[in-house]
Amino acid sequence: MGKDILSVRDMQQDFEKIIDLAIDLKKERYRRYPEADNKTLAMIFEKPSTRTRVSFQVAMDQLGGHSIVLNPSDMQLGRGETIEDTARVLSSFVDVIAYRAFKHHNMVTLARNSTVPVINALDDIEHPVQMLADFMTIKEVKGKLSGLKLVYVGDGNNVTNSLLYACAILGINMIASTPQDFGPDPTIFMMAKEMAREKNAVLTISHDPANDMNGADVIYTDVWVSMGEEDRKERKERYFEGFQVNRQLIARARKDYMFLHCLPAHRGLEVSEEIIDGPNSYVFQQAENRLHTEKALLLWLLRNKNI
């Protein structure tokens, strides 16, 4: 319906504008906006969250609106009420819905049956709102986006899929450096590659992280085992030997590389303590920017989607 943010692609036209709005909002954290007056954001979390949940809640409050957090096990959803009916009912109470779901299919069902915008607050396919904070942080530090080289090392997951779209939109060259059988979604990779061509950017999948680091401006990693995959932990982690971001692995990156991680991190697994706590790590600036970018996204929705 064009009202929802289920994928990075749903922000394609205005992606950098939303980032620039966030950079502005960061300068005046406590300013209220009449557009948010009396507006309510409802959030449904099927999986745990610290950053997304708190940043969205504080964002809506600081803008001058209201927010409520819903846990499916406390809702009739947990007793078998359908997503379709839940969507219709919630739409009659609130103005925006953010949803963290196990299955992308359920995300789409909620969006199709809601009359208000639905924001994907992470599912098994994408994590679009994370991207705004990531690329805002890169823009703050590097002063530009287009033409940079980003190397993602680790598991090809929801974050990797969204990074591919975001790099394609922004004209950033990206290598997804993953173990052989743990690459990003192949369909998303093909689509993002096609989009990147228009921006003269190149997206690549590779399995040779130390080499891939050559000239990297940004090094990004995420957990090897995502939420909902815990039962695969033992079987999966052994494929990731050689994919830890540590001093040795990043030897060929640029001296002024930035290290990013969407967090939560597992120090000693996907990243060494030395790197995540080192001078080139911007992970806490990145986390703080979740707040400013959630505000920018909400304001952009309130202004542009007839809410």
Active site residues: 100, 127, 130, 222, 262, 290
Which residues lie near ligand CP (CB under 6 A)?
49-53, 122, 130, 262-263
Quick one: 52 or 289, whose CB is closer to ligand CP? 52
Which of ligand NVA, ligand CP, none does residue 223 bind to, with CB < 5 to 8 Å depending on kind?
Answer: ligand NVA
CB of 152: closest distance to ligand NVA in angstroms? 11
Quick one: 7 or 52, whose CB is closer to ligand CP? 52
Which of ligand NVA, ligand CP, none does residue 50 bind to, with CB < 5 to 8 Å depending on kind?
Answer: ligand CP
Quick one: 9 or 127, whose CB is closer to ligand NVA? 127
Beta carbons of 193 and 168 less than 8 angstroms apart: yes
Quick one: 62 or 130, whose CB is closer to ligand CP? 130
Which of ligand NVA, ligand CP, none does residue 62 bind to, with CB < 5 to 8 Å depending on kind?
Answer: none
Indicate if the alpha-carbon torsion angle 208, 211, 212, 218 is positive or negative. positive
CB of 77: closest distance to ligand NVA in angstroms? 20
CB of 214: closest distance to ligand CP in angstroms? 28
Beta carbons of 89 and 62 less than 8 angstroms apart: no
CB of 39: closest distance to ligand CP in angstroms? 22
Q: Report the residue closest to ligand NVA, judged by CB.
A: 226
Which residues lie near ligand NVA (CB under 6 A)?
122, 127, 157-159, 222-223, 226-227, 262
Distance CA(37)–CA(256), nearest Å, equals 43
Pairing mode of beta strands 96-100, 40-45: parallel
